[in-house]
Structure 1
Amino acid sequence: MYKLLIAEDVKTVRDALARSVPWERIGISLLGTAENGEAALARLERETPDLLLTDIGMPKMNGLELIQACKARNPDIRCIILSGLNEFEHARKAISLQVQHYILKPIDPDEIARVFSEVVRDLGRERRRKEELAVAESRLRDELPNLAGALPASEWSGSLKKKRLVEQAIGYIKQNFARGDLALSDVADAVGLSEKYVNLLVKEVTGTTINAWIVRHRLEEAARLLKDPANRIYEICERIGYTDQDYFREVFKKQYGQTPSEYRNSRL
């Protein structure tokens, strides 16, 4: 059973939501209802729901503020908005908060049941994936306790499969960082993953995003080339994939605390 908290300031609607939807049949345990965002937040101090169904227009704390507060406490909570406010700004804000669904009033118990059935199926698939991954990683730790890789062991975590995918992604960056048009989409295509997933995977395993890795390799190569006075700075800029020398100077200084010229002069 997945636990649900409902936040709705209109009592008749709140009661109807609690009574008219077959929550248990869907696989949901209703923790209770709250009349506003503050009351819902107080419940969260005592309980940890998997799901939140909230109105937007509530006194004391509106639904969007409640979602932000919930996400800060539990990033994995799934939030569904129920509102009569059919306005673009609210919908856009909801999207930015990674709200699962945006349901308009008046309430339709069948529609709510359909939406939550879909969310429960997604949660079930996600839970099974996590369980399978945990089992696989446990086996890998038992069977391969001394995995070696291109990065220091302290930077790696997770499964061998993840490690290999990240090695492949970073290897592609090392080979292609000098391309001025190199982008996240190119790295994703190279390893056969979506842009979002490969970026999350690399960040999870190494603590650094794809774009940060691209910048890192470009600047490391720039620092190497700057040690040879025969390499002109504008040529180095082009060789590592940058076309704007001012931008190159700014990024390099941020990384090394010196401009390219200062860095070169300090090593002559």
Structure 2
Amino acid sequence: MYKLFIAEDVKTVRETLVHAIDWHSLGIVMSGAFSNGEEVLARLDAEEPDLLLTDIGMPKMDGLELIQAVQARKPDIRCIILSGLNDFEHARTALKLQVLDYVLKPIDPAEIEQVLARAVRALKKEREERRELDLAERVSRNKLPNLSELLHGGELSGNLKKKKLVEQAVQYVKEQYMRKDLALSDVAAAVGLSEKYMNLLVKEVTGMTINHLIIRLRMEEAARLLKDPANRINEICGRIGYTDLDHFRESFKKHYGLTPTEYRNQLL
């Protein structure tokens, strides 16, 4: 069974979520329903959940701030946003925070059930992958052949398997990073892992998340293109996978400490 926390400041909505859904049939235990983010954080160490379903608009601490705080303390907790706002900026921030899903109000218990059922399947897949790779590492450290080695005569250790998966993910990103619609789910599907576990593996081996890797490759290509005055900045923005010029400028300045224009002027 997976533990769930709910954060929702509207009492009627919170009670509907608690009582209108058969959590047990989903393999979920309702471990706490809270009216704001501070209450969630106060309970977090005493009873760590596997899943957090949180509203965005709450007093004291909004849902996005709560997710950031939760991820900083307990990065394995998977988060789902519940919001009455169909807002692009909120959705973009949610993507950056790698939330599992973004559900719009008014709430539909049937939709919530579907979303949580997907979340449970994702958690199961992540844990199975982690167990398999951890087992491979233990087998390798103890110098005992695992079933695959006995059948095929190979000597693939858990570390080598991880390295190979990461190499596949990195190579895919290098080939696809200029796609405007490139998403974490695309990279995960390319290597046959869940998004969460693939990100953990890539960060473990490279020190970067997939999103950081995509941004780094895009910024390096942008810097290369800026050396040629014939390449206009708005054209470079589109060529490296950005749809928003302001977002491109913001990312470039964060990476190099200069705007694209300032960077180009330094080269003149």
Matched residue, 1:140: 140
Larger Rg: 1
Contact 1:50 1:76 in 2 (8 A): yes
Matched residue, 2:74: 74
Of all paired residues, the percent bearing the same amino acid is 60
Q: 1:143 to 1:101 in 2, by over 3 A?
A: same
TM-score between the two structures when normalised by the length of structure 2: 0.60
Q: Deviations over 1:111-168 (max 9, x none)?
A: 1001100110111111111111111111111117xxxxxxxxxxxx952323466789
Segments of 5+ residues of structure 1 without an aligned counterpart are: 145-156, 173-182, 213-240, 245-268
Q: 1:23 to 1:161 in 2, by over 3 A?
A: same
TM-score between the two structures when normalised by the length of structure 1: 0.60
Aligned amino acid, residue 103 of structure 2: I
Matched residue, 2:105: 105
Aligned-partner Cα distance in 2 for 1:78–1:108: 21
Aligned-partner Cα distance in 1 for 2:96–2:203: 21
Aligned amino acid, residue 185 of structure 1: E
Q: 1:16 to 1:243 in 2, by over 3 A?
A: closer
Aligned-partner Cα distance in 2 for 1:59–1:84: 15
Segments of 5+ residues of structure 2 without an aligned counterpart are: 145-156, 177-186, 214-223, 228-268
Aligned amino acid, residue 11 of structure 1: K
Q: CA RMSD in A?
A: 3.8
Aligned-partner Cα distance in 2 for 1:34–1:137: 40
1:114 equivalent in alignment to 2:107? no
Aligned amino acid, residue 9 of structure 2: D
Aligned-partner Cα distance in 1 for 2:117–2:168: 38
Aligned-partner Cα distance in 2 for 1:74–1:53: 15
Number of residues of Structure 1 aligned to a counterpart in Structure 2? 192
Deviation (angstroms), 1:20: 0.5
Q: Deviations over 1:230-263 (max 9, x none)?
A: xxxxxxxxxxx9996xxxxxxxxxxxxxxxxxxx
Contact 1:158 1:205 in 2 (8 A): no
Contact 2:41 2:70 in 1 (8 A): yes
Matched residue, 2:24: 24
Matched residue, 1:129: 129
Deviation (angstroms), 1:201: 4.9
Deviation (angstroms), 1:205: 3.3
